[in-house]
Chains A and B, each alone.
Chain A
Amino acid sequence: EADIYQTPRYLVIGTGKKITLECSQTMGHDKMYWYQQDPGMELHLIHYSYGVNSTEKGDLSSESTVSRIRTEHFPLTLESARPSHTSQYLCASSPQGEGRRSSYNSPLHFGNGTRLTVT
């Protein structure tokens, strides 16, 4: 089982609040990701990181930001939460394979998610 941790598991917060969703992994994986998951929908990539000080936006337009100051830590921040941000947020990481090119072809390992409700 992958050692990737997300906190909090559940969060209910009012509109306009600033929130940070925490994600940590203890496996030394270089690649980390944030996905949004809604019922009946495919996972959508919000942000990803290939390593320390490397972050990119994903396919889904998002008002969130991320940082990657340490390999194991990849927090996601919403400066001003809105009801449209209500969703399940999944953090994932991907291991370094053998050899430089094979690291691109490893599967994702997910945390248990943060269920965010903005009222």
Chain B
Amino acid sequence: QKEVEQDPGPLSVPEGAIVSLNCTYSNSAFQYFMWYRQYSRKGPELLMYTYSSGNKEDGRFTAQVDKSSKYISLFIRDSQPSDSATYLCAMRLPNTGNQFYFGTGTSLTVIP
């Protein structure tokens, strides 16, 4: 069983839609959760970084962590064509320098 599961998509939505991207995980010890956006031929860019459960908002993006369900989400409001990219979830164990676990990424296309 993979540590982190992420639906690869592809996901296609019209401009202005609300997008929900999700990951599930199996290790209850994860405490730090990240979302990365990766454009084609680029490296992953950090979008959101959250600790433990709860919500975090940054502009049109909201990251949500539900540790009881081992489920994290990224919501994109008023989606734009520039949001078209692959979104990677990642998580890490506390106080370890190298223990990052990644999802396989969800491909998102926002149609104008």
Chain A residues within 8 Å of B, Cβ to Cβ = 1-2, 6, 31, 33, 40-43, 45, 48, 50, 56, 58, 90, 94, 101, 104-105, 107-113, 115
Residues in B neighbouring A56, C-beta threshold 8 A: 98
Main secondary structure of the interface of A (DSSP, over half): mixed
Closest A residue to B34 using CB positions: A107
Interface residues of B in 27-59 (CB under 8 A from A): 31-32, 34, 36, 41-46, 49, 51
B97 in contact with A48 (CB, 8 Å): yes
Closest-by-CB residue of A relative to B5 is A42
Whether a CB of chain A sits under 8 angstroms from the CB of B69 is: no
Instruction: Please give the residue numbers on chain B whose beta carbons come within 8 Å of chain A beta carbons, in ascending order.
Output: 2, 4, 8, 31-32, 34, 36, 41-46, 49, 51, 88, 90, 92, 94-98, 100-105
Q: Top 6 nearest A-B pairs by Cβ distance?
A: A110-B43, A42-B102, A43-B102, A112-B43, A104-B95, A107-B49
Q: How far is the CA of A42 from the CA of B4 in the complex (A)?
A: 9
Q: Which of B8, B34, B45, B105 contacts A1 (CB 8 A)?
A: B45
Does B95 contact A105, Cβ atoms closer than 8 Å?
Answer: yes
- Residue from B43, B51, B96, B105 in contact with A113 in the complex, judged by beta carbons closer than 8 Å: B43
B90 touches A108 (CB 8 A): yes
Q: How far is the CB of A63 from chain B (nearest CB, A)?
A: 20
Q: Quick one: which of A6, A48, A105 contacts B92, CB cutoff 8 A?
A: A105
* CA gap between A6 and B41 in the complex, in Å: 13
Could you list some 26 contacts between A and B, CB below 8 A?
A6-B43, A31-B97, A31-B98, A33-B98, A40-B8, A40-B104, A42-B102, A48-B98, A104-B94, A104-B95, A104-B97, A105-B32, A105-B95, A107-B32, A108-B34, A108-B44, A108-B90, A108-B100, A109-B46, A110-B36, A110-B43, A110-B45, A110-B46, A112-B41, A113-B43, A115-B41
List the A side residues contacting B49 at CB < 8 Å: 107
